[in-house]
């Protein structure tokens, strides 16, 4: 599972070795989503190349949807999960309808965006089944590592309460927060929050290249 982790993350993985061994031992013999090969997919990126962190909460419980990147589903998925559909609605409203073509947001990870869930696994068909395993502590350490590496040269987009729990360790970053894009909370402030244009404005003010949000 760790073969594809970028070497830049290895200080984090070495420091968190015992916790990861404990978590993975608890998952031994259990069917999980995403597939085991994709559990650490978000860490395939060079951490030095990351300009934007998008924090989600939990993998999609549908094995056909979860692929190790927050909010991302395989190309050609239909119908889309409601949260992702709402993300696209806001993206179109914020930056224009031309932003969404193939609905594969994994392309964002190729342009400096880390798509990280607070919890990296769940059981098939069960939402938030692994909240007590310790993934939240590992991903907190990951965000802390990224913040220390990037300093102020980072924009963090925090969607939902679980993501916003880490705002306190992102004090050097520019933080953009809103309710989660799920149908239960999207009309409470996610729609109209304009996170994409807001993020690019912040990046430009930091002297950094904006993100190409088209997908």
Q: Which residues are catalytic?
A: 58
Q: Is 8 exposed, middle or buried (0-12, 13-18, 19+ CB in 10 A)?
A: middle
Asked if 117 and 58 count as a contact pair (C-beta separation under 8 A), the reply is: yes
Per DSSP (E only), the strands in the chain are 52-56, 113-117, 155-159, 174-178
The phi and psi torsions of 95 (rounded to 5 degrees) equal: -120, -5
Is 52 strand, coil or helix?
strand
User: 148: how many CB neighbours lie within 10 A of its CB?
Assistant: 10
Separation in Å, CA 22 to CA 126, 131, 133: 21, 14, 9
Separation between Cα atoms, residue 38 and residue 209, nearest integer Å: 28
For residue 184 the two structure tokens come to 């239960």
Element (H, E) at 166: none
Separation between Cα atoms, residue 115 and residue 104, nearest integer Å: 12
């Amino acid at each position: 599972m760790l073969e594809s982790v970028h070497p830049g993350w290895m200080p984090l993985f070495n420091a968190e070795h015992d916790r990861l061994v404990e978590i993975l031992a608890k998952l031994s013999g259990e069917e999980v989503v995403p597939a085991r090969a994709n559990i650490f997919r978000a860490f395939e990126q060079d951490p030095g190349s990351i300009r934007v962190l998008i924090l989600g909460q939990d993998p999609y419980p549908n094995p056909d949807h979860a692929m190790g990147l927050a909010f991302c589903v395989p190309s050609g998925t239909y119908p889309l999960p409601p949260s992702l559909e709402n993300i696209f609605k806001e993206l179109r409203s914020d930056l224009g309808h031309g932003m969404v073509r193939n609905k594969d947001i994994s392309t964002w990870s190729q342009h400096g965006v880390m798509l990280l869930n607070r919890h990296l696994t769940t059981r098939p068909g069960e939402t938030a089944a692994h909240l007590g395993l310790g993934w939240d502590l590992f991903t907190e350490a990951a965000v802390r590592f990224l913040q220390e590496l990037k300093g102020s040269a980072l924009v963090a987009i925090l969607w939902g309460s679980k993501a916003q729990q880490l705002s306190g360790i992102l004090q050097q970053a520019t933080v953009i927060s809103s309710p989660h894009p799920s149908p239960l909370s999207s009309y409470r402030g996610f729609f109209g929050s304009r996170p994409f244009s807001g993020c690019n404005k912040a990046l430009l003010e930091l002297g950094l290249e904006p993100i190409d949000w088209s997908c």
